[in-house]
């Protein structure tokens, strides 16, 4: 009996220590993010692309209700994770022309909505490829050196948390124009190999704590249901989900071996199962609607088709998993981040 009490005390102590670690903001100086619309906080705003969202009703639940170029009703995971790390409530977009040198210190996102690991994806959408994001990252580090010195730059490289989030646009949009060269499996493998190559490049540039997100069940986003799921049934596009799973099954072990090979920490962050469970069992997570977006009729609206001319936009986006026909709401993102990230953050502290 006494022994059990002791164990309980030890477990509680461990939990408490862990919680304290998660709010220590000195151990992770910055959050630096690469990828697509899930993490973009406004990098596309001045690009000549249709992949934009810096107009209402995007941002309707953002502080001040402003449409900042985030592909959601409110904040996106780059913001929510920066907040979890105790850095800031929002993470600036690197392409924001108003950024001052001081705004760079807690990290930035280079992510660009519509992009992917396949260079063709960014080219088709006229957005910034993940490979070009690495070039901007080099520029970011030289700016830090220039304004704050070598030591600060080294500290940011050594201790910051780096996140990479991509693949859904490649899988959903670029496989078709690539289908003459690849079948579904080999294209998913090509993307996973590209992700590993990206991590190697990022590590070469000095990053040491790198997390890579898995592919998501992109076949279940409202747009895929509308186009491929049958007129009335609107089922998930299973062949597309299977490609996402193939990507994950190739990426996960490859990152594990990279983690052993390279110094620092390389993490595979699986979001597939969590998001899939949310979509299958929305009520379990306090959501009412999982197969339509909040914006417009929720069946196809995204980017310029999700606009304030559409009278059908829902009033309570918190009841929806999806904001538009492709992107989750802030509340859905918050559930994912709360469910998954503590475990990974504790590994990089």
Ligand X SMILES: *[C@@H]1O[C@H](CO)[C@@H](O)[C@H](O)[C@H]1NC(C)=O
Residues annotated catalytic, as ranges: 37, 324, 327
Angle between helices 238-261 and 184-204 (to 10 degrees): 30
Q: Which of 1, 5, 26, 97 binds ligand X (CB under 6 A)?
A: 26
Indicate which single residue of 288, 308, 312, 346 sits in contact with ligand X (rule: CB under 6 A).
Answer: 288
* Main-chain phi, psi angles of 4, to 5 degrees: -60, -40
- Binder to ligand X among 10, 25, 149, 312 (CB under 6 A)? 25
Question: Which span sits near ligand X by CB under 6 A: 17-25, 33-41, 160-168, 243-251?
Answer: 17-25
Select the span of 21-29, 58-66, 167-175, 208-216 touching ligand X (CB under 6 A): 21-29
Radius of gyration of the chain (CA): 20
Nearest residue (CB) to ligand X, 238 versus 288: 288
Whole-number Å distance between alpha carbons of 112 and 122: 9
Pick the closer one to ligand X by CB: 58 or 287: 287
What stretch of H or E contains 337? helix 330-348
Of 5 and 20, nearer to ligand X (C-beta) is 20
- Spell out the residues 6+ positions from residue 139 whose beta carbon is closer than 8 angstroms to its own: none
Which token pair is 212?
Answer: 């890579």
**Contact present, 237 and 256 (Cβ < 8 Å):** no
Q: Which residue has the tokens 């151990």?
A: 27
Chain position carrying tokens 């079948």: 183
In angstroms, give the least distance from the CB of 30 to ligand X.
12
Q: Which C-beta is closer to ligand X: that of 17 or that of 146?
A: 17
Asked if 94 and 132 count as a contact pair (C-beta separation under 8 A), the reply is no
CB of 143 to ligand X, least distance (A): 21
- Of these, 1, 20, 176, 232, which contacts ligand X (CB under 6 A)? 20
The binding site for ligand X (CB under 6 A) comprises 20-21, 24-27, 86-87, 286, 288, 316, 318-319
């Amino acid at each position: 009996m006494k022994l059990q009490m002791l164990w309980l005390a030890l477990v509680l102590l461990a939990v408490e220590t862990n919680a304290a670690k998660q709010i220590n903001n000195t151990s992770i100086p910055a959050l630096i993010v690469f990828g697509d619309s899930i993490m973009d906080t406004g990098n596309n705003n001045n690009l000549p692309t249709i992949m934009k969202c810096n107009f209402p009703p995007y941002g309707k639940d953002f502080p001040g209700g402003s449409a900042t170029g985030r592909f959601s009703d409110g904040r996106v995971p780059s913001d929510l994770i920066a907040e979890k790390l105790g850095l800031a409530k929002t993470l600036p977009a690197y392409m924001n022309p108003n950024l001052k040198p001081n705004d760079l210190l807690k990290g930035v996102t280079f992510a660009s909505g519509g992009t992917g690991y396949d260079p063709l994806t960014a080219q088709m959408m006229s957005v910034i490829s993940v490979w070009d994001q690495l070039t901007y990252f080099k520029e970011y580090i030289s700016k830090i050196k220039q304004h704050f010195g070598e030591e600060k730059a080294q500290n940011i490289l050594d201790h910051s948390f780096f996140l990479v989030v991509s693949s859904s646009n490649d899988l959903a949009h670029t496989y078709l124009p690539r289908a003459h060269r690849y079948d579904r499996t080999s294209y998913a493998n090509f993307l996973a190999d590209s992700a590993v190559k990206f991590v190697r490049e990022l590590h070469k540039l000095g990053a040491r704590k790198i997390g890579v997100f898995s592919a998501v069940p992109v076949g279940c986003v409202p747009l895929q249901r509308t186009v491929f799921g049958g007129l009335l049934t609107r089922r998930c596009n299973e062949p597309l989900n299977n490609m996402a799973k193939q990507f994950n099954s190739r990426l996960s072990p490859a990152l594990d071996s990279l983690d052993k090979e390279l110094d620092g920490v390389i993490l595979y962050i699986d979001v597939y199962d969590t998001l899939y469970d949310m979509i299958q069992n929305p009520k379990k997570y306090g959501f009412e609607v999982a197969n339509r977006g909040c914006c417009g009729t929720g069946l196809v609206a995204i980017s310029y088709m999700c606009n304030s001319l559409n009278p059908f936009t829902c009033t309570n986006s918190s009841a929806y998993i999806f904001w538009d026909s492709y992107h989750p709401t802030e509340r859905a993102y918050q559930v994912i981040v709360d469910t998954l990230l503590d475990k990974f953050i504790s590994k990089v502290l």
